[in-house]
């Protein structure tokens, strides 16, 4: 059987056919399904979102994670495991065994470009782990966050070859974006958008739902195909913003962070030394300039920061408890010992994207606005619930990355890239409760899983010759803590932040500050200052040796150039807000060149990167409707939701429009009179002021050609409305743009909506850097 060329082809039969089936001798044997080699384990790959090295109790942090601790005590902790510093690039690397630029994911699908390393279009020469296992006879299922599908391909029109079910997963249940509301997730089952099976009021939470789905899927295979091993990829939306918790969890950590982030770093480092997950002489990395110390905060800032950190810690523990439920189910089914579990505690370091004070709504900071502790304090009790989309302050992100410097997005420093990883496989690993210090990277996971299954690296998959793995399996370390490490060199790059690791030394340069996403880059690449660390003796990158060893720094800088050239890193691209505009980025745009688009009520929700772009430009919304005798209510067309967006709707047959400016302000325009029964053409016309991004304008409501209302909209959302909510016709799915109508599907238009047309007066404005 040739397992290097996938799919595996069965040999042609050498049996001669008889004229009569009754006389067939010898008989044709029943076709046997493809199966992996005997002894191949089940595989459970679990990925936590946005968790720093120093967050989990399993690695010395303050977030209680009993399942992680249980798996670590029965398996191995890896103390020097690395990611790319951002979600989608890490996920693409994790599931392919190649570097993120090789796989086309140098950044996010939402801001992809036409540059080869940044298209978000995985080449056919880079097959996924799921497809390799599927072709070798594994059952494969993905549950949760899958942020690898290009925006223009994420609609019901497809193509679906870069959806999870097109990339080797038999089953997919989850969401396609960077994040989602934990109470009203934008769910997909296979390739079909579905409504959440519950609500916050009746106790629904996405993390719990995902584990229920995995358990059901494993049970089904256990019943119907017990001879078939399975690969389950459980990719939580937690602990990415929004920090959403069941009501019973919202006070779980009340009062536990009053000591502040400076002391928390000291406590965490002391515990990390006890656990042996850092070197005994490890020092805390220097504090980041511009971030206040705990004692420099006002009373209001401290109270807000405490509550936000309490919410994150409870979110982390709640997520891990769901992992514990899954582990318990596997044990009850008799699968725990023969299942290779790889538990990755973070697709990058802790996120600093909440800003200095944190935020009640991540869209505020991502759109270039500044949230304040005073505003958050007024709504303190909303944190963790459905009325908030909370994120903690930068100071807590730095503490959650203890003992390392910087945070998510900063690919140069270990605060952005180093996370905890646990491996548990009783039938395959004799060691229990030990720590492994060999240096590894997320591209090493795919080769490791294939090696554990006894499968070779394929050279051809679905007719495409494969780019060889760039990762190195770490199976050699399972039962040998002193085994010489086999990973010697690894480059890092993200939005201009870059670094190189080689045999214990790191040369790094930070180009962009992660909590100032919409701010301009102030330096050119040539002006970036490089630092040098000997991590053989300086575990936490705390002592810069650039001036002491300029020759070694130069050698590593040259090595970075060589590695970057090999892996499609060049040209470096530090643009951010410009790339939100597909025309400027050069990526495929479904709406390119179309100034008028007609939408119908049966159209599933469109993600923002696949919808007409009404930002920063004059536009109009026109709908053909029929109003019955009863007063008409409900949404005609809406985009986004409670935390940013716009909506055209009716209340008691009165036409209304609302523009939600990231939850900071809502600007409304209302008709003077109610609609009478009958057929109508209704419009909202917006005249944009121009002169840059996020400017205001004048809105007019028109019914059957007659103006019925107008109003001033002082400011508009400049860059994006929502990372997870959609453009909807005839309803407002997910959370409502305005509280004037209920949450969907109860806000569906009560009359008859025939069509909606969106007209753009001119090409959408160019976001200013």
pLDDT one-digit tens code per residue, 141-168: 999 999 999 989 999 899 999 999 999 9
* pLDDT for the residue numbered 521: 62
Report percent pLDDT > 70 for the chain: 98
431, exposed or middle or buried, with CB in 10 Å at 0-12, 13-18, 19+? middle
The reply to whether 127 and 193 lie within a common domain is yes
Distance in angstroms (rounded) separating the CA atoms of residues 517 and 364: 11
Q: Is the peptide bond before 26 cis (omega within 30 degrees of 0)?
A: yes
597, exposed or middle or buried, with CB in 10 Å at 0-12, 13-18, 19+? middle
Structural domain contains residue 272 = yes
Residues 6+ apart with CB under 8 A from 380: 303, 304, 307
Q: Which two tokens stand for residue 153?
A: 């391909």
Q: Which domain holds residue 735?
A: 590-760
Structural domain contains residue 335 = yes
Structural domain contains residue 36 = no
* pLDDT for the residue numbered 700: 98
* Mean pLDDT in residue range 660-678: 97
The reply to whether 718 and 613 lie within a common domain is yes
Q: Is 674 left (phi over 0), alpha (psi -120 to 50) or beta?
A: beta
Q: At 659, which CATH number? A: 2.60.120.200
The reply to whether 549 and 605 lie within a common domain is no
In a 3-state reduction of DSSP, which class is residue 99?
coil
* Mean pLDDT in residue range 346-362: 96
* pLDDT higher than threshold 50 for residue 476: yes
Structural domain contains residue 327 = yes
510, exposed or middle or buried, with CB in 10 Å at 0-12, 13-18, 19+? buried
The reply to whether 502 and 489 lie within a common domain is no
The reply to whether 504 and 478 lie within a common domain is no
Structural domain contains residue 585 = no
Read off the pTM.
Answer: 0.96
* pLDDT for the residue numbered 767: 44
* Mean pLDDT in residue range 700-721: 97
Report percent pLDDT > 90 for the chain: 91
* pLDDT category of residue 512 using cuts at 50, 70 and 90: confident
* pLDDT higher than threshold 70 for residue 483: yes
* pLDDT category of residue 519 using cuts at 50, 70 and 90: low
* pLDDT for the residue numbered 427: 98
- C-alpha distances out from residue 152 to 127, 437, 579, 591, 607, Å: 21, 42, 14, 9, 9
The reply to whether 402 and 333 lie within a common domain is yes
Residue 128: closest CA among 112, 153, 109, 105: 105
The reply to whether 386 and 513 lie within a common domain is no
* pLDDT higher than threshold 60 for residue 721: yes
The domain boundary residue, chosen from 531, 550, 580: 580
* pLDDT for the residue numbered 517: 54
Distance in angstroms (rounded) separating the CA atoms of residues 609 and 112: 11
Structural domain contains residue 9 = no
352 and 314 Cβ atoms separated by less than 8 Å: no
* pLDDT for the residue numbered 179: 96
Residue 288: closest CA among 392, 409, 407, 369: 407
The reply to whether 187 and 312 lie within a common domain is yes
Half-sphere exposure of 306 toward its Cβ, with a 13 Å CA cutoff?
19
* pLDDT higher than threshold 80 for residue 293: yes
* pLDDT category of residue 528 using cuts at 50, 70 and 90: very high
509 beta partners: 498
The domain boundary residue, chosen from 466, 494, 522: 494
- C-alpha distances out from residue 234 to 43, 91, 185, Å: 11, 12, 16
Cα end-to-end distance, the chain, whole Å: 56
The reply to whether 433 and 564 lie within a common domain is no
Instruction: Look over the chain and give the mean of its residue pLDDT values, rounded to a whole number.
Output: 95
Residues 6+ apart with CB under 8 A from 197: 204, 209
The reply to whether 620 and 563 lie within a common domain is no
The reply to whether 661 and 674 lie within a common domain is yes
* pLDDT for the residue numbered 516: 61
The reply to whether 570 and 623 lie within a common domain is no
Q: At 501, which CATH number? A: 3.30.1120.10
Structural domain contains residue 734 = yes
Domain count, the chain: 3
* pLDDT higher than threshold 80 for residue 192: yes
Structural domain contains residue 198 = yes
The domain boundary residue, chosen from 518, 546, 580: 580
Q: Which two tokens stand for residue 421?
A: 């990883």
- C-alpha distances out from residue 658 to 637, 652, 713, Å: 11, 16, 9
* pLDDT category of residue 707 using cuts at 50, 70 and 90: very high
């Amino acid at each position: 059987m040739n397992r290097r060329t996938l799919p595996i082809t069965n040999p042609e039969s050498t049996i001669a056919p008889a004229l009569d089936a009754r006389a067939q001798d010898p008989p044709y044997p029943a076709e046997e399904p493809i199966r992996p080699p005997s002894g191949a384990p089940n595989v459970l790959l679990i990925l936590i979102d946005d968790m720093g090295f120093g967050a989990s109790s399993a690695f010395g942090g303050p977030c209680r994670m009993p399942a992680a601790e249980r798996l670590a005590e029965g398996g191995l902790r890896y103390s020097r495991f690395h990611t790319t510093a951002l979600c989608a690039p890490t996920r693409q690397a994790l599931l392919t065994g190649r570097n993120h630029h090789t796989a086309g994911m140098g950044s996010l699908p939402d801001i992809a470009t036409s540059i080869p390393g940044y298209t978000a279009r995985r080449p056919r020469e880079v097959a996924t782990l799921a497809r390799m296992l599927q072709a070798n006879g594994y059952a494969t299922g993905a549950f949760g966050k899958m942020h690898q599908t290009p925006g223009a391909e994420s609609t019901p029109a497809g193509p679906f070859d870069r959806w999870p079910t097109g990339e080797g997963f038999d089953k997919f249940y989850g969401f396609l974006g960077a994040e989602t509301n934990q109470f009203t997730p934008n769910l997909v089952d296979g390739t079909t958008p579905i409504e959440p099976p519950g609500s916050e009021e009746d106790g629904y939470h996405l993390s719990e739902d995902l584990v229920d789905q995995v358990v059901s899927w494993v049970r089904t295979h256990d019943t119907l195909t017990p001879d078939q091993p399975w690969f389950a990829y459980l990719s939580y939306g937690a602990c990415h913003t929004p920090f959403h918790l069941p009501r019973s969890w919202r006070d779980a950590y009340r009062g536990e962070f009053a000591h502040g982030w400076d002391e928390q770093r000291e406590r965490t480092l002391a515990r990390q030394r006890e656990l042996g997950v850092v070197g005994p002489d490890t020092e805390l990395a220097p504090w980041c300039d511009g971030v206040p110390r705990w004692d420099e905060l006002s009373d209001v800032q401290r109270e807000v920061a405490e509550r936000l950190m309490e919410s994150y810690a409870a979110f982390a523990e709640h997520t891990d408890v769901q992992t514990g439920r899954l582990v318990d189910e596997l044990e009850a089914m008799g699968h725990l010992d023969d299942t290779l579990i790889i538990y990755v505690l973070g697709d990058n370091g802790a996120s600093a994207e909440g800003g200095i004070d944190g935020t009640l709504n991540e869209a505020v900071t991502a759109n270039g606005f500044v949230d304040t502790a005073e505003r958050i304090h007024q709504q303190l009790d909303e944190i963790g619930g459905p009325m908030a989309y909370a994120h903690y302050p930068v100071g807590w992100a730095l503490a959650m990355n203890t003992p390392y410097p910087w945070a998510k997005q900063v690919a140069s420093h270990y605060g952005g890239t180093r996370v905890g990883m646990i491996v548990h496989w009783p039938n395959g690993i004799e060691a229990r409760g030990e720590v492994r210090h060999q240096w590894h990277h997320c591209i090493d996971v795919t080769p490791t899983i294939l090696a554990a299954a006894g499968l070779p690296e394929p050279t051809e998959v679905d007719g495409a010759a494969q780019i060889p793995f760039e990762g190195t399996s770490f199976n050699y370390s399972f039962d040998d803590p002193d085994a010489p490490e086999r990973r010697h060199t690894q480059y890092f790059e993200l939005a201009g932040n870059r670094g190189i690791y080689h045999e214990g030394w790191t040369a790094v340069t930070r180009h962009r500050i992660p909590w100032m996403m919409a701010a301009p880059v102030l330096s050119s690449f040539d002006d970036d200052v490089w630092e040098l660390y000997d991590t053989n003796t300086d575990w936490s990158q705390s002592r810069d040796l650039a001036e002491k060893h300029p020759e070694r720094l130069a050698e590593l800088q040259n090595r970075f150039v060589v590695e970057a050239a090999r892996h499609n890193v060049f040209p470096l691209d530090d643009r951010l807000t410009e790339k939100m505009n597909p025309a400027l980025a050069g990526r495929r745009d479904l709406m390119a060149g179309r100034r008028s688009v007609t939408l119908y009520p049966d159209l599933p929700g469109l993600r923002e990167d696949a919808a007409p772009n009404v930002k920063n430009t004059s536009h109009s919304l026109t709908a053909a409707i029929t109003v019955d005798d009863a007063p008409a209510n409900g949404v005609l067309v809406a985009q986004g939701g409670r935390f940013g967006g716009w909506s055209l709707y009716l209340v008691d047959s009165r036409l209304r429009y609302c523009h939600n400016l990231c939850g900071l302000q809502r600007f409304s325009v209302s008709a003077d009179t109610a609609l009478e029964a009958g057929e109508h053409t209704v419009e909202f016309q917006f005249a944009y002021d121009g002169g840059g991004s996020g400017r205001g304008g004048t809105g007019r409501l028109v019914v059957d050609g007659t103006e019925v209302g107008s109003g001033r909209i002082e400011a508009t959302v400049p860059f994006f409305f929502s990372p997870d909510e959609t453009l909807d016709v005839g309803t407002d799915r997910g959370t409502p743009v305005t509280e004037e109508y209920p949450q969907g599907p109860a806000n569906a238009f009560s009359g008859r909506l025939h069509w909606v047309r969106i007209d753009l007066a001119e090409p959408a404005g160019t976001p200013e850097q």
